Every structure is written in structure tokens, then in C-alpha cells.
Structure 1
Amino acid sequence: MTDTTSPSDLLRNSAIRTLTLEQQAIGALIEHLDGDFEHACELILGCSGRVVVTGMGKSGHIGGKIAATLASTGSPAFFVHPGEASHGDLGMITPGDVVLALSHSGETAEVTALLPLLKRLGTPLISMTGRPHSTLGRHADAHLFAGVEREACPLDLAPTSSTTAALALGDALAVALLEARGFTEEDFALSHPGGSLGKRLLLRVSDLMHHGSRLPRVASGSPLRDALLEITRQGLGFTCVVDPGDYLVGVYTDGDLRRTLDHHADLSQLTVDDVMTAPGKRISPDTLAAEAVRIMEDNRITALAVVDPDGHPVGALHMHDLLASGVI
């Protein structure tokens, strides 16, 4: 019988088989979570130094990612190449640190060569292997099992399922530590100030608002013409309307102008009070910029008046400012 499977089907079937095997490998880790996982967390939480992650080859690549994840979620960590460690970089490891060593076999020579010095320093060792009774597994203070039944590679040779399992287990460790430390979004943002997440979580309205001479405002009772001139002059699509005490009593926007044109044939006799939106949407300068985005989206507006606790306008925020800053 002729095989009618197309080349594209073969490729898709290969991908499905790989993903299924790796999914199964991750799921199988759950039944191996035991007291050693809790002890590993306790060692890191009680650590006065940093988590030093090490591993050779593909395990080293996974170890680098685990170190980066730990460092960005509240557990200071860095990666040390085991080969370099044996040639001077061991000086980076102190008794106050905790070492997390990855080796699928648990017998990687470059990694096991570090054991004597770690024992001499008294530095706690957490191992992550696929063989609990290996050299690395037996000499660790806590062993994290990351074994797999088979690799996703059809030859059962290339590290595939095993590296995926180790990566997932590293994530589980980082998240458990994150929750134990009470790590918050603000904490995360502080270690990611250049990223879009950091900008969303750290920037406040006061960092982005227009103020001083760039704050559009007209006095209550002003002719509508004055409000239109102020909107045009400042280019923010709206103006604040203030009473004699400099309290915000309303706003007049581009949208209000369209409604004014729909309902009034003669604009010359109108004051801004006749057609403004009162009291108008407003926001505090201390509010997170991300919250300003939500308010604008919920109310389908593109600008907000920024007021102090007494209700005096101190700034103006436009959607373009949020876009330019990377908050959106």
C-alpha cells in the first residue's frame, strides 16, 4: 500500500511527537517532588550570599537561564562555567553562597571536580540530575530529580526532553522562592527598569504629564473661542476649565467640539461652561501610568487632567505620552 503522507504532514507529526514527549517529561516531574525540593528552597532562602549555578554543555545553557530567572525574581544568582571554575573562577564562590549544579548523568567530570572544594568551604550544594544515586546526587545537600523516560530525539541521544524538564524544574524552584519571599510586581520592575514591564510598573503620571506653561487651561466663563485657541496652542486635544480659585470644574475636548458643532449653529455666543464636560475625568500625579491607560481606554478618551489632592490642575496627560514612553 502506498504511503500518502505528505512531507508537510511528516514535519508536523514530528513536532507533535516531540512536544508530546516533552509535555510528558514535565508532567512526570510532579510525582518526584519531595522533601529535597523543600530543603533546596530552604537552603536558598537562608543563604546570605548568592545562588551560584553551574553546568556543562546543554545543562550549562539551561543553568544560565535558571540563574537569570532566579536573579530577576528576588534570589540573587549568577552562572559559573565549571571548566572556568577549575581555573580560577572558584574564587567567586564563598561559604555564604549556595551552589546549584546541573548534570543529567550526575557524573559530568567538570562538575564533580568542584565537589572537594565545595565540601572544604562548607558551601551547600543542590544538584539537579536524572540519577539520584550518581556522584553529584549522593554528595548534594538536596537533590532535585529531573530524569526523563526518554529524550524527544528519535535517536534518544540529543538532550531534548531532559533539558526541557530541567528548565521547567528550575522555573518551579524560582517561582516557589518568589512566592516565599513575597516578591511583588514592583520588585520585579525594579530589576527590569529598561523593559516594557518595568515602564508599566514604575512610571507614574507625574513622570509623563505636561505641566507649567504646557498645561492647557482657561478660566470658567471664557468665550468658547478662547478654549479652542488654547486647545490649538497646546496641541493636547483638550483644555482644563478652572474657577477663580483655580479648581478644576470641567474639561473641553476635541470630542466636545464635535458635539458642539452638531447641536449649535452659532458658536459666537457660547462660553466654555455651556459646552464643557463637567467635572471631567481626572487623575492624581502619583497614579501609575498603567492605571491612566486603563482609565483612558475604559472611557474612550485620549487625555486626562492631572490634579493635586485639593482639586487644582497640575498637569495634563495625553495618550501619545504613554505610547512614546513604552507604557502601551
Structure 2
Amino acid sequence: MASHSSSKIAIYGAIGANVAIAISKFVAAFFTGSSAMLSEGIHSLVDSGNGLLILFGVHQAEKPADARYPFGRSKELYFWSLIVAILVFSVGGGMSFYEGVEHLKHPAPITDPTWNYVVLGLSLVFEGISFFLAFREFNKSRGDAGFWATLGRSKDPSVFAILMEDLAALLGLVIALGGVYFGHMLDNPYFDGGASICIGLLLVSVAIFLIYKTKGLLVGQGVEEETLDALEALARQQRGVEQVRRPLTMYLGPQDVVLALDVEFHDHLSAIEVEKTVDELQDTIRANHPEFKRIFIEAKGLSGKQRNPLAPDPTSPQI
């Protein structure tokens, strides 16, 4: 819950910044006729809506389990993040690209870029603050890993989606600034339209990345290989354990993972000893990997005959 509360700060910051920036960009585009500025206004408006959708997803994911949703609703966050990615692709990227092409077909020179420079400068400041909040939250789970490695490993759309949108926003502002500056300096309106197309392509690229990430999580992505190896090692360290099959895992949410273990014990162990060992194994796994909220262990003897299938212990979320 604390993780969700801290990630909400980055979402609130992104929404507040994007609303203010979108209004100022549309005003500047109205007075100057800049295509790149209009695209940036669309970009910020889409980002504002996306932040609200992710915030809604976080809220829905926090709802407790019930009879209709026995495993809770953590995956709602992934669903709404997929909707966000589709909006970035279609509305943000598509409209920016279309606006750029139209401006190339019907170029209009920028008469006075002062409004554009003021708005873009303020936007860089606000987007920088928003990016800092998202990056600070992103760094909490980063450790010693590199930026791209951590981004690929992250399973929290409320962090990586906001971070990528803010990064795209900063790059888009730089592109828009270049289009306005060179278009006015060289008296060539094609720079402005070209900048709008580049912003569209940038948004499409970010959207494809987000779609790829959220699709895997929605379908049923499991934990990384090194975590599976660690789980196997923990299981083999328990007394009486002879064989452990490869663990089965699935992300329900960023900090809500299901684990299924198939463990074979020595035949000389009694049912009580097996049950005690299973309880110890569950406690050990939770101590080392608290993201496993639901642990299911099937205990068997060496003969392969099921001896004592066990559901999660009483500390697990119950329906």
C-alpha cells in the first residue's frame, strides 16, 4: 500500500503539470499558428487523461478480493495501462503525425514565436519536475541495475508508464523548440511540420513499448529466471526435500504474485513433518520475496503419490 501511495505522487504531479501545460500550449498554438505547438498541446492533453486512467487503475487494483474476484483485481492496473498505451498510439501519435503532414501540405509561416518560446520554456520546467518525481519513484526499485535493465524488469505501470510519458514529453518539447526556432530563423514552415511528424513518431514508439509491456503482464507473465532459481534453492534447502519442479508464477499486480510449487519429500517423513516443513518454506519465501502474496505448495512422496496438498497458510489472503 505504501508503494502505491508513493507512486500516486508521481501520477498527481504528471496530471497537474500536463493540464497546465496543455492549456498554455493550445493558447500559444492559437496565437502563433504553430503545428508543432498544437501537436504538443494534444500530447499534453492525452498525457493528462492517461494519468487519470492510470490513477483509476491503481484505485481499482486496491479493491479487496471477493466471491466474484477471488484473487482480487490487481490486474485492472494492467488493463487501464493498456488503454493508455492505445490512446498514446492513436490519439497522441496519430493526431500529431496527421497534423504535421497537413502542415507540410499547407505550410503557414510563424509570425511571432515569442509565445512559443515562453510556453515551451515553462513546459520544460514543469515536465522536468514531473519527470523528476517519476524518476525518483523508479529509482526506488532500481538498485545497482542500469536504467534500461530496470525499465525492462519493472512490472508497475504506475511507475514505468508515467516515466516513459514524461521522458517522451521532454524529448517532444526539445523537438518542438527546434522546429519553431529553425522554422522562424530560416523562414521555412516545413521545419514546424517536420517537428510535428517527429513528435508523432516519438509517441508511437513509446506506445508500442507500453503495449508490449502491458500485454505480457495481462496474458500472465511470470517472474524472472533468477527469481525462479532463488525459489528452487530455498525449497531444496528445506529438510526432507528431494526434488522440486520448476516453480510456476504469475503477476496479478506489481506486488501481488501467485506462486505454485510442486515438491517431493522423503517417504520417511510423516504428514505432520511435511506440513511443518511446508509452513517453514512458505515463511522463508515470504521473508525473501514479499511480493508472493499467494503460495500454493503440492507435497508428494518420492513414489509420486500425492501425500498432502496444501493451500496457502492462514496469513495468505483468504476469500
| Structure 2 length-normalised TM | 0.26
Which protein is richer in helix relative to its size? 2
Q: Which has the larger radius of gyration?
A: 1
